[in-house]
């Protein structure tokens, strides 16, 4: 921290406003520069880097008022005439203060720190208390997440890509910003604080909050940056196929190939949610029937439980799954069913029309994961795993809360009712459901997946897995649960 700014801070009255600046490093190595705004002024502010740049500057890019040392004048015919922009001569090694941006192909080494533009973005950091004992504090950085306010700044990266990246917090007084009377090189500022973004603490359509840690306070981080203590996979889900690195080679669209008993290779997709529940296509469940205690079920069987009594048309709840018990004169296609016959399973996209005579009963769908007879399906049963059904996304359909759709190669869950014409993406309308639980079983059910029907494409997963399947090298154990 500069002695000058320390003197300012100790004065009876500080006449210049405090300015907070943030630098966030992206996975590709580039840096974003933000400030939370100066009172009502939401324009960019300019402030210098702490250290001198190492690369020379090409003529045409000199900053008026900054100091440079001539390195080259450039080739004949495209040389830079340094005396015209403040130099005493054209000699290599001459120090000058630029009076213009220059022209030609001459190079000069900066003697002043680079000036950066910090863009305004609503953000705040709290939890900065410093204690002499106990664990280090974990500050929270909250950034506005309305619309594309943040995502438009991230150069194609998502919020969770910022985990593990460096955050720098700088503080100075307004008078020391570039363009003001106190501008200096190196800049006058308070002590810089550096953190590592450790996890996303919360995220919604209004804001995203990151928990940050000091670089020496990252739990279990040791050289060479891998410690064998945890039960969670450390690889980023689908990271290899999506170009974000890591050892998880599961395809970004969750596709896989399986060799059938007829010798042919068939393509399938297998989606699972955070709790390892299968997410299956509605149209593939046309032949399943209600659970019967007298039926011997195997790991190839899907079934459903009836929840409550039959409901009349006009009383269906959007997003819930039903089976038609009586077709009546109801137009079932308008409610989400693929057929009008009794026994058809559907996810309601509307409540239906009052006065029509069809009825349906709410159901829960289950996959048998351990062959048995007489064990009623439930979410706590060791013999069954609950499944959710999805349909292809359509912008013309009004989706209810908890409706599942496939869009851009993955499955999404609607977060509210009357969700219409909102393309699935992270934010306030949808959340991605095909995500990894980061446990060993989450890996096993994907890499060991077996289709229910082996000699046909696009089949649902069975309730058992291939025990001989190989998991990605180095997946377990890990240290962080992301």
pLDDT single digits (tens) 442-479: 989 999 999 999 999 999 999 999 988 887 766 654 43
Q: pLDDT over 70 for what percent of the chain?
A: 92
User: Where does 38-147 have alpha helices with state H?
Assistant: none
Which residue pairs from 305-310 have beta carbons closer than 8 angstroms and sit at least 24 positions apart in sequence? Answer: 305/363, 305/364, 305/366, 305/376, 305/377, 305/378, 306/361, 306/362, 306/363, 307/361, 307/362, 307/363, 307/364, 308/361, 308/362, 309/361, 310/359, 310/360, 310/361
Residue 323 contacts by C-beta under 8 Å, 6 or more apart in sequence?
A: 290, 304, 306, 343, 344, 345, 346, 360, 361, 363
Quick one: 438 exposed, middle or buried, by C-beta within 10 A (0-12, 13-18, 19+)?
buried
CA–CA gap between residue 387 and residue 393 (Å, rounded) = 19
Cα separation, 84 vs 396, whole angstroms:
65
**With contact defined as beta carbons under 8 Å apart, do 348 and 401 qualify?**
no
pLDDT of residue 229: 43
Q: Which residues contact 263 (CB under 8 A, 6 or more apart)?
A: none
Domains of the chain: 3-47+117-217 (2.30.110), 52-112 (no CATH), 220-269+435-482 (no CATH), 278-421 (no CATH)
pLDDT tens digits, residue range 123-143? 999 887 766 665 667 889 999
Tens digit of each residue's pLDDT (9 = 90 or more) over 326-348: 999 999 988 988 889 999 999 88
Best-predicted range by mean pLDDT (119-133, 361-375, 419-433): 361-375
Q: Which two tokens mark 148?
A: 């594309």
pLDDT band, residue 106 (cuts 50/70/90): very high
Tokens describing residue 312: 């009349």
Helix runs in 292-331, H state only:
none
Q: Is the pLDDT of residue 225 over 80?
A: no
Please count the other Cβ atoms lying within 10 Å of the Cβ belonging to residue 53.
13
Give me the half-sphere count of Cα atoms (radius 13 Å) on the Cβ side of residue 332. Answer: 24
Q: What is the pLDDT of residue 9?
A: 75
For residue 335, which phi and psi values (nearest 5 degrees)?
A: -110, -10
Q: How confident is the model at residue 177 (pLDDT cuts 50, 70, 90)?
A: very high
Q: How does residue 369 score in pLDDT terms, banded at 50, 70 and 90?
A: very high
Paired tokens of 336: 């989400």
How large is the average pLDDT for residues 186-203? Answer: 90
């Amino acid at each position: 921290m500069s002695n000058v700014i320390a003197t300012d801070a100790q004065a009876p009255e500080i006449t210049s406003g405090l300015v907070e600046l943030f630098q966030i490093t992206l996975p590709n190595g580039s840096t974003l520069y933000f400030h939370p705004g100066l009172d009502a002024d939401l324009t960019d502010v300019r402030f210098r880097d702490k250290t001198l740049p190492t690369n020379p500057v090409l003529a045409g890019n000199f900053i008026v008022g900054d100091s440079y040392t001539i390195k080259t004048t450039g080739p004949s015919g495209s040389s830079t005439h340094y005396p015209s922009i403040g130099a005493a001569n054209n000699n290599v090694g001459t120090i000058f203060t630029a009076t213009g941006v220059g022209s030609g192909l001459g190079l000069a080494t900066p003697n002043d720190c680079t000036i950066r533009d910090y863009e305004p973005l609503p953000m705040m950091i709290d939890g900065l208390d410093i204690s002499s004992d106990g664990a280090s504090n974990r500050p929270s950085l909250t950034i506005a997440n309305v619309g594309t306010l943040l995502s438009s700044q991230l150069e194609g990266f998502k919020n969770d890509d910022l985990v593990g990246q460096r955050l720098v917090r700088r503080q100075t007084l307004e008078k020391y910003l570039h363009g003001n009377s106190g501008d200096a090189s190196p800049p006058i500022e308070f002590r810089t604080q550096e953190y590592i973004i450790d996890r996303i603490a919360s995220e919604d359509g209004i804001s995203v909050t990151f928990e940050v840690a000091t670089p020496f306070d990252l739990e279990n981080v040791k050289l060479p940056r891998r410690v064998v203590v945890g039960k969670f996979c450390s690889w980023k889900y689908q990271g290899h196929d999506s170009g974000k690195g890591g050892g998880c080679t599961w395809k970004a669209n969750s596709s896989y190939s399986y060799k059938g008993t007829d010798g042919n290779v068939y393509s399938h997709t297998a989606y699972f949610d955070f709790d390892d529940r299968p997410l299956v296509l509605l149209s593939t469940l046309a032949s399943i029937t209600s659970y019967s205690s007298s039926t011997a079920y195997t790991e190839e069987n899907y079934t459903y439980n009836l929840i409550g009594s039959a409901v009349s048309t006009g009383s269906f709840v959007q997003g819930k799954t039903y089976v038609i018990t009586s077709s009546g004169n109801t137009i079932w296609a308008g409610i989400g069913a693929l057929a009008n016959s009794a026994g058809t399973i559907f996810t309601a996209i509307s409540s239906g029309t009052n006065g029509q005579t069809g009825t349906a009963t709410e159901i829960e769908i289950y996959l048998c994961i351990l062959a048995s007879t007489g064990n009623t399906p439930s979410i706590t049963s060791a013999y069954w795993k609950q499944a959710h059904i999805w349909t292809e996304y359509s912008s013309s359909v009004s989706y209810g809360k908890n409706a599942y759709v496939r869009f851009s190669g993955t499955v999404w869950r609607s977060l509210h009712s009357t969700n219409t014409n909102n393309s699935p993406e992270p934010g306030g309308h949808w959340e991605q459901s095909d995500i990894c639980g980061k446990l060993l079983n989450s890996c096993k059910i994907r890499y060991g997946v077996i289709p229910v029907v082996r000699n046909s494409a696009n089949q649902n997963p069975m309730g058992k897995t291939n025990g001989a399947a190989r998991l990605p090298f180095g997946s377990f154990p890990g240290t962080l649960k992301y």
